[in-house]
């Protein structure tokens, strides 16, 4: 019998690895176990499902279990791994449909167990109308609940990406939506001045924002906060996620920041023959040099690919994250990469920053919309540390340029002189990024 | 009396330099001479003026002569420099309004004389209904001619950016438009397979394309080509530009590729105390290492800034161009940067390329549109050499990422692992650039 690889987790980080390993090692036996009913799906598409621009859960699936089976991957959905014995090289697997548990041997193990929404420790948080939204099973439950409850009043707890996207989705369904966030502004991955711009955009879509307000409890038909009560037929959690690392920890695999699984550049854990990728594991931030827990589909796919290659005996490394994220709320785009002023300061950088307001494209065209760019650089060297952008169409994906530039250690003058594309429908002759870079350069030479 | 700087040319390359010099050297006397009637304008906006989305020539002006005068720049429009004596440090200046010529002394000279549309050497090419479109004076003449002739049949000679943009503009005015191009496909800065996609998009807008067809002459009401005649009330030239370097050459300033003025990294010409920037001078291509003539507003602004700094005694350098260009034809966006397969081969690179078709964003969203990405890399190292993109909204500006990455010497694996922004309205989880990079990487390891 050949080598058996056990993959725990049937979404991106697990199945990217399984697919790469399958192609490179035809001799390897590959078993993949997923506790939900779906494989390889876009969790990021869930808000569009709720909002109605995507019409079925299945539309978010990139590859179904039978497609993996056709690739000779033994894909077992609705099976859950309950424990792992790394000395004996066995896993206890529970078949959720049939209710029985069996033991499964393996030679190599890949952990892709994902993450789960954080649940504030308040009374009523486990009520059936409180939804964390992370998996397609979560999405299906949410859709079923929407259908039966027909919620008129929705409360979103936490103003992160998923919270804001779901808030907009419920607005587009005609619900009255309130976001509560204990912080003074939404989107804590932005500096507060930029978060305030997002808050303004949210209010313009009809969302009620209640900032500096903490959730104290969930009751039937309302939530209780530090400032009073808010009607709520349905509650959505958007307060972030924590890695699903209990299984790994119980098996003796080392955990790091936020209890995420520690991995090396090849996605190898502290235990020989055990890999991890995606939301369950930590990454190195390329700008701060620090370990971070960044639960994003892009990261999961890349780490899964690297794990698949190294599991197969090839060489590949994951270079780390830069902290890039983009989203859209109606016509307002939001993008960020690298470190905010707050984050850069915590990381030990002495920073300069520039915040500029210009237009998304040539101001003489009717399509021009406002855009605000906040750029952060190291004070002594001008080295780019990050950027935050809030503005009209075309604004957000501009962060990609800084994601690459900052990742490579380029400075503001390099960016100012970079050969970025220009035509009136796309940009002014100086791209908004370069208008900001120019202000950084001016501060450095002042 | 202090130092006098003479700037020849009142658009971006001249006035960016004059403005920077003004701020840094309050003691310097600055005289700027422009033969047209406008200063600091967006020539790239002219097609939008013709198409009607911009309603006056003045809307394209970033800064007027009186605004420069308020900055203590002696701005003389409708004055033309006829000759320069670099030993005597004098220029002969012709006042076009009054018809008199005078001599003007200077200490430092900045050449920003721009470029002019190439005119095929065929009979009738100088007829009044044949328009080269490079300056606002050209634009005003074209608009006046449109008003008086009300052209029903427009022929555009040459399928470069300006030709295509003007073709679309005339279509939106209701004219019947034919583009003739002697090459087998339009847009010679793309490889022919990508140019063919642009040709298809053009035809979809209603433009008639006649490829492999050379202009032989212009007559009243029609043009004569190698294949016959085409009705033409108005003819627009889109066959490229040549640098306005006669003045520099006559004065003994060294010329290089395409007779463009040779400059060093600080935009200094071969003659002490003489600078040049913008369309009249050459640049170094960062990927090929070769001198090129690239007449673009972005380059002109950057070179003008560098010249202004070095004229003022500061240190600054222009790093060269990567060959980035973007445009939009209705809903189809076109972007390119670096070297095409054709160009890379000429430059001496042994190349691999990957051409992929995917969607501009997550395929399950109704907003997803097709996009084709062709990526070029060095065969031995995977080093990125360039990219060409044709696709729906959001496609073109993606070239900026490769403009930075290729400029920094990154390879396809670096790009594949870059932390590019993802959310369903913007991209699939693997950005189209990364789908192409992945194919390059696969070819390298095969």
- pLDDT tens digits, B200-259: 999 999 999 999 999 999 999 999 999 999 999 999 999 999 999 999 999 999 999 999
Structure confidence by residue, pLDDT tens digits, A103-144: 999 999 999 999 999 999 999 999 999 999 999 999 999 999
Distance from CA of A211 to the nearest CA of B (A): 25
CA B418/CA A342 separation, integer angstroms = 23
What are the structure tokens assigned to A23, written together? 């192609």
pLDDT of residue A46: 95
Residue ranges of chain A assigned to CATH 3.50.50.60? 4-36+78-114+241-311, 119-237, 325-445
Mean pLDDT for B351-376 is 97
Q: Report the residue of B404, B416, B427, B433 to disrupt the A interface, i.e. the one with the largest count of A CBs within 10 Å.
A: B404
CA A256/CA A262 separation, integer angstroms = 5
CA B187/CA B206 separation, integer angstroms = 18
In chain A, the N- to C-terminal Cα span, in Å, equals 70
Q: Is A281 a catalytic residue?
A: no
pLDDT of residue A254: 98
Which residues of A fall within a CB distance of 8 Å from B423? 44, 161, 325-328, 396
Mean pLDDT across chain B, nearest whole number? 96
Which residues of A fall within a CB distance of 8 Å from B429? 12, 42, 44, 297-298, 301
Contact between A421 and B403 using a beta-carbon 8 Å cutoff:
yes
Low-confidence ranges of chain A (pLDDT < 70): 1
Structure confidence by residue, pLDDT tens digits, B183-197: 999 999 999 999 999
Beta bridge partners of A233: none
Residue B162 CA, chain-centre distance (Å), reads: 8
Which residues of A fall within a CB distance of 8 Å from B327? 423
pLDDT of residue A2: 83
| Count of C-beta atoms within a 10 Å radius of residue A312 | 18
Indicate if the pLDDT at residue B1 is higher than 80: no
Distance from CA of B410 to the nearest CA of A (A): 9
Give me the residue from B42, B323, B337 closest to A429, CB to CB: B42
What angle do the packed helices B399-407 and A399-407 form, to 10 degrees? 20
Structure confidence by residue, pLDDT tens digits, B2-59: 899 999 999 999 999 999 999 999 999 999 999 999 999 999 999 999 999 999 999 9
3-state secondary structure chain B: CCCEEEEECCCHHHHHHHHHHHHHCCCCEEEEEECCCCCCECHHHHHHHHHCCCCCHHHHECCCHHHHHHCCCEEEECEEEEEEECCCCEEEEEECCCCEEEEEECCEEEECCCEEECCCCCCCCCCCCEEECCCHHHHHHHHHHHHHHCCCEEEEECCCHHHHHHHHHHHHCCCEEEEEECCCCCCCCCCHHHHHHHHHHHHHCCCEEEECCCEEEEECEEEEECCEEEEECEEEECCCEEECCHHHHHCCCCECHHHCECCCCCCECCCCCEEECHHHECEEECCCCCEECCCCHHHHHHHHHHHHHHHCCCCCCCCCECCCEEEEECCEEEEEEECCHHHHHHCCCCEEEEEEEEECCCCCCCCCCEEEEEEEEECCCCEEEEEEEEECCCCHHHHHHHHHHHHCCCEHHHHHCCCCCCCCCCCCCCCHHHHHHHHHHHHHHC
Nearest alpha-carbon partner for B369 in B387, B390, B391? B391
3-state secondary structure chain A: CCCEEEEECCCHHHHHHHHHHHHHCCCCEEEEEECCCCCCECHHHHHHHHHCCCCCHHHHECCCHHHHHHCCCEEEECEEEEEEECCCCEEEEEECCCCEEEEEECCEEEECCCEEECCCCCCCCCCCCEEECCCHHHHHHHHHHHHHHCCCEEEEECCCHHHHHHHHHHHHCCCEEEEEECCCCCCCCCCHHHHHHHHHHHHHCCCEEEECCCEEEEECEEEEECCEEEEECEEEECCCEEECCHHHHHCCCCECHHHCECCCCCCECCCCCEEECHHHECEEECCCCCEECCCCHHHHHHHHHHHHHHHCCCCCCCCCECCCEEEEECCEEEEEEECCHHHHHHCCCCEEEEEEEEECCCCCCCCCCEEEEEEEEECCCCEEEEEEEEECCCCHHHHHHHHHHHHCCCEHHHHHCCCCCCCCCCCCCCCHHHHHHHHHHHHHHC
Cα dihedral value B409, B412, B418, B423, nearest 10: 130
Residues B387 and B412 sit within 8 Å (Cβ to Cβ): no
Q: Report the residue of A46, A329, A419, A422 to disrupt the B interface, i.e. the one with the largest count of B CBs within 10 Å.
A: A419
Indicate if the pLDDT at residue B384 is higher than 90: yes
Instruction: Supply the pTM of this predicted model.
Output: 0.96
Contact between B431 and A400 using a beta-carbon 8 Å cutoff:
yes
Assign domain B4-43+58-114+243-311 to its CATH architecture. Answer: 3-Layer(bba) Sandwich (3.50)
CA B37/CA B218 separation, integer angstroms = 29
Give me the residue from B328, B401, B445 closest to A400, CB to CB: B401
The fold adopted by the segment(s) B325-445 is FAD/NAD(P)-binding domain (3.50.50)
pLDDT of residue B255: 98
Give me the residue from B54, B60, B417 closest to A302, CB to CB: B417
Q: Report the residue of B417, B419, B426 to disrupt the A interface, i.e. the one with the largest count of A CBs within 10 Å.
A: B419
Contact between B421 and A319 using a beta-carbon 8 Å cutoff:
no
| Chain A residue at shortest CA distance from B424 | A45
Give me the residue from A401, A405, A425 closest to B328, CB to CB: A425
| Interchain CB contacts (distance < 8 Å): A and B | 192
CA B441/CA B397 separation, integer angstroms = 23
Which residues of A fall within a CB distance of 8 Å from B397? 394, 397-398, 421, 426-427
Which residues of B fall within a CB distance of 8 Å from A414? 319
Give me the residue from B42, B53, B425 closest to A366, CB to CB: B53
ipTM of the complex: 0.96
Assign domain A119-237 to its CATH architecture. Answer: 3-Layer(bba) Sandwich (3.50)
CA distances from B194 to A350, B187, B368 (A): 46, 9, 20
Q: What are phi and psi of A397, to 5 degrees?
A: -70, -10
- Name the CATH superfamily, with its identifier, for domain A4-36+78-114+241-311: FAD/NAD(P)-binding domain (3.50.50.60)
Q: Report the residue of A329, A404, A428 to disrupt the B interface, i.e. the one with the largest count of B CBs within 10 Å.
A: A404
Distance from CA of A50 to the nearest CA of B (A): 13
| Chain A residue at shortest CA distance from B414 | A319
Give me the residue from B48, B321, B414 closest to A365, CB to CB: B48
Distance from CA of A315 to the nearest CA of B (A): 11
pLDDT of residue A1: 57
Contact between A423 and B44 using a beta-carbon 8 Å cutoff:
yes
| Chain A residue at shortest CA distance from B52 | A365
Contacts of A288 (CB under 8 A, 6+ apart): A339, A343, A344, A347
Structure confidence by residue, pLDDT tens digits, A407-419: 999 999 999 999 9
| Chain B residue at shortest CA distance from A53 | B365
Residues A192 and A184 sit within 8 Å (Cβ to Cβ): yes
Residues B276 and B316 sit within 8 Å (Cβ to Cβ): no
Tokens 């969302």, located at residue: A207
Residue B106 CA, chain-centre distance (Å), reads: 30
Residue ranges of chain B assigned to CATH 3.50.50.60? 4-43+58-114+243-311, 119-237, 325-445
């Amino acid at each position: 019998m050949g080598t058996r690889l056990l993959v725990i987790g049937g979404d991106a980080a697990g199945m990217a690895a399984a697919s790469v390993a399958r192609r490179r090692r035809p001799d390897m036996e590959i078993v993949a176990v997923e506790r939900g009913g779906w494989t390889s799906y876009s969790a990021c598409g869930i808000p569009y499902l709720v909002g109605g621009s995507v019409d079925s859960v299945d539309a978010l699936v990139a590859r179904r279990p039978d497609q993996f089976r056709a690739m000779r991957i033994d894909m077992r959905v609705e099976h859950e791994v309950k424990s792992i014995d790394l000395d004996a090289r066995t896993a206890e697997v529970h078949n959720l449909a049939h209710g029985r548990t069996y033991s499964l041997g393996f030679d190599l193990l890949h952990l892709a167990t994902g993450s789960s929404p954080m649940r504030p420790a308040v009374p009523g948080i486990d009520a059936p109308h409180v939804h964390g939204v992370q998996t397609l099973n979560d999405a299906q439950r949410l859709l079923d609940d929407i259908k039966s409850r027909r919620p008129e009043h929705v409360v979103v707890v936490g103003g992160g990406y998923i919270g804001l996207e779901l808030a907009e989705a419920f607005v587009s369904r005609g619900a009255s939506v309130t976001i509560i966030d204990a912080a003074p502004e939404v989107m804590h991955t932005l500096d507060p001045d930029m978060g305030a711009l997002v808050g303004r955009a949210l209010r313009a879509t009809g969302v009620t924002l209640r900032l500096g307000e903490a959730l104290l409890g969930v009751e039937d038909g309302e939530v209780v906060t530090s400032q009073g009560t808010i009607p709520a037929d349905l509650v959505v959690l958007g307060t972030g996620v924590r890695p699903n690392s209990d299984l790994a920890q119980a098996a003796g695999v080392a955990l790091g920041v936020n209890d995420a699984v520690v991995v090396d550049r090849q996605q190898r854990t502290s235990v020989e023959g055990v890999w991890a990728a995606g939301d369950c594991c930590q990454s190195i931030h390329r700008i701060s040099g620090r370990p971070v827990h960044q639960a994003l589909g892009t990261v999961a796919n890349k780490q899964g690919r690297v794990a698949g290659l190294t599991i197969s005996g090839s060489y590949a490394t994951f270079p780390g994250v830069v902290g890039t994220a983009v989203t859209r709320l109606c016509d307002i785009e939001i993008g960020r990469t690298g470190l905010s002023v707050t984050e850069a300061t915590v990381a030990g950088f002495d920073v300069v920053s520039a915040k500029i307001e210009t237009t998304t494209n040539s101001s003489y065209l009717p399509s021009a919309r406002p855009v605000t760019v906040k750029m952060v650089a190291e004070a002594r060297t001008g080295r780019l540390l990050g950027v935050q952008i809030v503005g009209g169409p075309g604004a957000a994906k501009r962060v990609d340029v800084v994601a690459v530039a900052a990742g490579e250690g380029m400075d503001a003058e390099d960016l100012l002189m970079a050969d970025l594309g220009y035509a009136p429908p796309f940009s002014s002759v100086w791209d908004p990024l370069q208008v900001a870079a120019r202000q950084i350069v001016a501060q450095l030479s002042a």
